[in-house]
Amino acid sequence: MNLDTQRLILREIKWSDLDQVHKLHSYKEVDEFNTLGIPANRSETRNVMRPVIKDQKKKKRKLYSWAIIEISSRKFIGLAGLTLTADRFNMGEMYYKLEPQSWGKGYATEAARSIVKFGFETLHLHRVEAGVATENVKSIRILEKLGMTCEGTRRKILPIRGVWKDNFHYAIVEDEPREY
Ligand SMILES: CC(C)(COP(=O)(O)OP(=O)(O)OC[C@H]1O[C@@H](n2cnc3c(N)ncnc32)[C@H](O)[C@@H]1OP(=O)(O)O)[C@@H](O)C(=O)NCCC(=O)NCCS
């Protein structure tokens, strides 16, 4: 299931994306608020990708991970995803990350919007959620622009380079206003 926006294509990841996903996860800047940490080798990146690629063959999907492709250059510029919860909650948690060269162009907002739309309009979810480190001001801005609400702070929950960091919990519910 691919998603199209004005400037981006979100294409479900495949094994041939391994090198680019590995490179993306290896940037110090991209890792700043990431609990996974910089992968020690390609095999660690493969282990992160494996369950998602396996899920693509399932009838009942739970894990979506998209390569973000810039239409103008046809280049891989990042990753975004949606992880669904148990059926009775009918929710998904979204994430996104871009190569530093592609920051500051509104791309993450554009990708995240298309995922929220996909969650509500195609999957008919009840809620879409996202967690964000309280220091991650750019990502907080994106979630606010999407009309998501900060529902609270989960204190000292993110293990980031040996320090427990706080996380804001954001969500949008299906019957809330969206301008997209
Ligand atoms: C967070 C991230 C995805 C942002 O990507 P991006 O494409 O640059 O984001 P956008 O351009 O769509 O939007 C960023 C917004 O933050 C704003 N912003 C940038 N720096 C800011 C700062 N220091 N303080 C407040 N807002 C800031 C931008 O102005 C923009 O808002 P605007 O459209 O109102 O001007 C990117 O920096 C990234 O990949 N970071 C590493 C991974 C990560 O943190 N992912 C999110 C995990 S929750």
Q: What is the CATH number that goes with domain 3-173?
A: 3.40.630.30
Does residue 101 have its Cβ closer than 6 Å to ligand 1?
Answer: no
pTM of the model: 0.97
User: Which ligand 1 atom sits closest to the C-alpha of 138?
Assistant: 16
Residues 28-53: what's their mean pLDDT? 97
Rounded to an integer, what distance in angstroms lies between the CA atom of residue 105 and that of residue 77?
12
What would the pLDDT profile of 102-151 be if each residue is shown by its tens digit? 999 999 999 999 999 999 999 999 999 999 999 999 999 999 999 999 99
The residue type found at 132 is V
C-alpha of residue 95 to centroid of ligand 1, in Å: 13
Dihedrals phi, psi of 178, to nearest 5 degrees? -135, 140
- In DSSP notation, 65-121 reads EEEEEETTTTEEEEEEEEEE--GGG-EEEEEEEE-GGGTTSSHHHHHHHHHHHIIII
Spatial contact of 2 and 12, defined as CB atoms under 8 Å apart: yes
Pick from 36, 105, 138 the residue to mutate for probing ligand 1's pocket: most ligand atoms within 8 Å of its CB: 138
103: tokens are: 């920051």
DSSP state, 17? G
